[in-house]
Amino acid sequence: MTSRIGRKAVIAGSLLLAAQTASLSSGSRAQTVNPVATTRGFVVTKFLQPQNFSLYKGDEDCPDGYSDGLVEVLLAAMPPGPEKDRLMASPKDRTYAAAKAHKADECVNPAAYQMPPVKPVKGTVAPGMNLDGAAGDTDPGSDTTCAHTKFVSPTGERGIDNQFYRAFGCTHAYREKVAYGGGYLEQNYQGSRKDGAMTMMIEVTGVTDPKNDDHVEVGFYSSPDATLYDAQGRPIPNNSLSVMPDPKYLAVAHARIKDGILTTDPVDIRAYFIWAAKHDDKADYYIRGARLRMELLPNGEAKGSLAGYWDVEAAYYTLFQHYPAYAQVLAAGFGYTCPSAYAALHGYKDPKTGQCTGISTVFDVEAVPAFIIHDGDRTAAATAPAVSGQQQAAQQGAIVARVEHEPVAGSIADQAAGH
């Protein structure tokens, strides 16, 4: 495995250094010492789409208003009268009335139904990366992409692909400080990740220079272990986390480091995700053509972003279907419809079928050092920075706060509808 290669490199480098030291002590001519390759392990503590928080521009992004949700569909179909007036005056009543008026099957089989399409973002700025290599403002489509209009990044980089933001940036659930549960939906998932619903690890091997190195490898792993947090909700670094043995949760990419910024080549990654206290493969985070761009910080932590094409079926199940019995309540509470959401997700073309089966997106990533324990490896000394005695004492004395987070659809809808 990649980590074992890293450990072999450390051992080989140590033996070489010892031999050269012995040679020097006996008066032999000094030899040039090659840099010793090292390995750094991280556990991801933040994996969150950034559009909820930093790009709210109101009329500029959404001049046509917000996408119609189940409530808008219901009210548009109702004739004027006392019942319509009553629902318009009560957010909670109209939420549950809208959910009751629509079939649960609309979320289970969204392609079988038609709803008003989403109102796309009309703005020009969004975070992300250029995933398809097209440098212009538009991509006419290719063997692996559907035609789409591109963005400019907040720093001025052109050719940015982020069709998820294009599709859902004008949806109530993905906007802060608006009607319904603005910004709450993705925060709910981030909270579940903190509870151990998804533990993603990153391992960087073959590092000879943490500032500039043209040839390193990056492993992406899932862990069955939860990340530990202290009483203030801060992640505790340098904990030991085991690697999930299922090979579908393992991916390795070539990468390079320039000026302390790690950038990987594209790779398909799958992250194990538990939703509603149970695991379903359909809920896993499956990102195709993923690229990680991450700064290796002086304090041992890392911060950056991961962009790629989120598989349509995986994204839809995780974000919109998840609770089949309550899916319509959530749709009504957060201001979307399942059929229109499903239709809006398609953006990455499968070269075998010609179908658009993914959508470009980006996640903010933050990570702290971790000891990554591979199958059969109970000593992780080579996979994370050494921990001082003082750090160990602090960690052992830390109060670990595990928030008992069990999503209940009714309470979520109540919060969304009773804003």
Q: What is the pLDDT of residues 12-45, one digit of tens each?
A: 444 444 444 444 444 444 455 567 889 999 999 9
* CA distance linking residue 320 with residue 337, whole number of Å: 9
Domain borders along the chain are 1-36, 38-417
Instruction: Tell me the angle at which helices 327-334 and 70-77 cross, rounded to the nearest 10 degrees.
Output: 80
pLDDT band for 379, please (50, 70, 90 cuts).
very low
Of the given ranges (103-107, 255-259, 394-398), which has the lowest mean pLDDT?
Answer: 394-398
Secondary structure (3-state) at 38: strand
Q: What is the pLDDT of residue 374?
A: 93
Residue 385 in this model has a pLDDT that exceeds 70: no
Residue 149 in this model has a pLDDT that exceeds 90: no
Residue 281 in this model has a pLDDT that exceeds 90: no
* CA distance linking residue 137 with residue 321, whole number of Å: 33
Of the given ranges (3-17, 152-166, 314-328), which has the lowest mean pLDDT?
Answer: 3-17
Residue type, 19: A
Of the given ranges (48-62, 105-119, 131-145, 235-249), which has the lowest mean pLDDT?
Answer: 48-62
pLDDT, tens only, 286-310: 999 999 999 999 999 999 999 999 9
Query: Higher pLDDT residue, 381 or 83?
Result: 83
Whether this model's pTM surpasses 0.95: no
- What's the chain's average pLDDT? 78
Q: Angle at the Cα of 368 (from 378 to 398), degrees rounded to 5?
A: 80
Query: Higher pLDDT residue, 385 or 322?
Result: 322
* CA distance linking residue 128 with residue 158, whole number of Å: 10
* CA distance linking residue 155 with residue 159, whole number of Å: 12
Query: Higher pLDDT residue, 187 or 394?
Result: 187
pLDDT, tens only, 360-378: 999 999 999 999 999 755 4
206 touches 37 (CB < 8 A): yes
pLDDT band for 58, please (50, 70, 90 cuts).
low
46 touches 149 (CB < 8 A): no
pLDDT, tens only, 220-246: 999 999 999 888 888 999 999 999 999
Query: Higher pLDDT residue, 322 or 313?
Result: 313
Of the given ranges (67-81, 100-114, 335-349, 391-405), which has the lowest mean pLDDT?
Answer: 391-405
